[in-house]
């Protein structure tokens, strides 16, 4: 049993994922109230070099050929031992395609409590989670003895979790990884045949508020008048109204245009993750409580179907 905070470093194809640094920054804050060290735990194969800029007091490195690429099965087996043995105060995972595949499983396997969607920790070491699409924050005492935590971005800056001083690395022997039931076959690269929305100076972005495929035409007309592209939130893409290449957010692209005009997008954390760095965010949403208004610079609670034809006309005239 220790007061240390473990961070499970996420990496994919030779690159440390940004959420890893955010987690290290959160761990640093939590360690100040727990009184322990921050330990990065890295699983991989010939990947020790990835520890170089992690802002951690030390790093545990587990090397095995079966850990070369992320799979839930191998990761759960490889993490169970060190967590059981060190019994840290908390183990932080990303609330992501990697972390969410393993954190709850480890919770069941090790009989340890879990806190999901944690965005930050308070000075007293309480967790603050972001739930209900960003509309509600939930605070509570970090459960014990060891809390497993999945962390969302937004509460800390990645730079806070980076350091020029590499942590001391201890290599931990890998467990036997046999009888694995999950295996990576291949990565399929994102489609690049469409416009690259990451290069646009302005985006007209539509969410579920657009209601149906036909209405996308209204956004297209505005974008055409402005000479920019149309992008979308996840439900729009999942409904097949727009191609995946236009998706913004956690599973889609990250964009930083000069202007991001969000039409009928609520501003769920998974969407905001992809557009929060835009220079100026403008949100049109009929719900005055929509979380998008907490990241937007300008907003209006007007019905987009009233606004769109008028706006398109005025943009055409202004040219």
Ligand X SMILES: Cc1cc2nc3c(=O)[nH]c(=O)nc-3n(C[C@H](O)[C@H](O)[C@H](O)COP(=O)(O)OP(=O)(O)OC[C@H]3O[C@@H](n4cnc5c(N)ncnc54)[C@H](O)[C@@H]3O)c2cc1C
User: How buried is residue 96: exposed, middle or buried, by Cβ count under 10 Å (0-12/13-18/19+)?
Assistant: buried
Identify the bridge partners of residue 272 per DSSP, sorted by sequence position: none
Q: How far is the CB of 33 from another protein (least distance, A)?
A: 16
Number of other residues whose CB lies within 10 A of the CB of residue 104: 15
CB-CB contact of 167 with 59 (8 Å): yes
Sole binder of another protein in the list 31, 129, 205, 215 (CB under 8 A) = 129
- Alpha-carbon distance of 195 to 163, in angstroms, equals 36
Closest CB to ligand X among residues 81, 154: 154
What the block records as the tokens of 6 is 């473990």
Tokens of 39: 């330990």
Which stretch in 47-55, 113-121, 278-286, 310-318 sits in contact with ligand X by CB under 6 A?
Answer: 278-286
- One residue of 140, 145, 157, 171 binding another protein per CB under 8 A: 140
Q: Does position 133 bind another protein by CB under 8 A? A: yes
x-or-dash string of contact with ligand X, 116-145, rule CB under 6 A: -----------------x------------
Q: Which is nearer to ligand X, 30 or 268 (CB)?
A: 268
- Is 277 near ligand X (CB under 6 A)? no
CB of 167 to another protein, least distance (A): 25
Q: Parallel, antiparallel, or unpaired for β 38-44 and 5-8? A: parallel
Q: Is 244 in the site for another protein (CB under 8 A)?
A: yes
Spell out, one character per residue from 175 to 214, where the chain touches ligand X: x when CB under 6 A holds, - when not.
--------------------------------xxx-----
Task: Identify what 271 binds: another protein, ligand X, none; CB under 5 to 8 Å per kind.
Answer: ligand X
Alpha-carbon distance of 7 to 41, in angstroms, equals: 6
Task: Work out whether 300 is an interface residue with another protein (CB under 8 A).
Answer: yes
* Alpha-carbon span 274 to 296, nearest angstrom: 13
For position 71 contacting another protein by CB under 8 A, the verdict is yes
Q: Is 315 helix (H, G, I), strand (E, B) or coil?
A: helix
- Spatial separation of the C-alpha atoms in residues 187 and 150, rounded to whole Å: 25
- The tokens describing 78, both together, are 């490889």
Tokens 């640093």 map to which residue? 28
Interactions with ligand X, residue window 292-311 (CB under 6 A)? 303-305
249 touches ligand X by CB under 6 A: yes
DSSP state, residue 289:
T
Q: Which is nearer to ligand X, 133 or 166 (CB)?
A: 133
Site for another protein in 153-192 (CB under 8 A): 181-191
CA nearest to 39, candidates 146, 157, 188: 146
Site residues, ligand X (CB under 6 A): 133, 207-209, 233-235, 247-252, 264-266, 268, 270-271, 274, 284-287, 290, 303-305
């Amino acid at each position: 049993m220790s007061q240390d905070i473990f961070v499970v470093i996420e990496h994919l194809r030779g690159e440390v994922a940004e959420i890893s640094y955010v987690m290290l920054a959160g761990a640093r804050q939590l360690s100040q109230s727990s009184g322990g060290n921050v330990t990065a735990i890295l699983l991989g194969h010939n990947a020790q070099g990835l520890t170089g800029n992690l802002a951690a007091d030390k790093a545990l490195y587990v090397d095995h050929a079966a850990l070369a690429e992320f799979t839930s099965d191998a990761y759960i087996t490889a993490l169970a031992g060190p967590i059981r043995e060190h019994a840290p105060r908390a183990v932080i995972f990303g609330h992501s395609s990697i972390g969410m595949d393993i954190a709850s499983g480890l919770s069941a396997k090790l009989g340890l409590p879990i806190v999901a969607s944690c965005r930050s920790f308070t000075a007293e070491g309480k967790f603050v989670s972001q739930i209900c699409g960003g509309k509600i924050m939930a605070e509570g005492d970090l459960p014990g003895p060891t809390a497993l935590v999945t962390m969302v971005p937004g509460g800390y800056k990645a730079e806070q979790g980076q350091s020029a001083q590499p942590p001391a690395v201890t290599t931990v022997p890998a467990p036997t990884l046999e009888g694995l039931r999950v295996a990576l076959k291949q990565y399929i690269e994102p489609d690049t045949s469409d416009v690259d929305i990451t290069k646009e100076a302005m985006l007209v972005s539509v969410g579920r508020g657009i209601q149906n495929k036909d209405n996308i035409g209204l956004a297209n007309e505005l974008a055409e008048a402005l000479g920019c592209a149309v992008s979308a939130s996840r439900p729009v893409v999942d409904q097949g109204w727009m191609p995946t290449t236009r998706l913004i957010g956690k599973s889609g692209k990250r964009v930083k245009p000069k202007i991001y005009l969000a039409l009928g997008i609520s501003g769920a954390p998974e969407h905001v993750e992809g557009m929060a760095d835009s220079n100026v965010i403008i949100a049109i949403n009929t719900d005055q409580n929509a979380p998008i208004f907490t990241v937007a610079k300008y907003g209006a609670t007007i019905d987009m179907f009233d606004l769109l034809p008028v706006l398109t006309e005025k943009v055409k005239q202004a040219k």
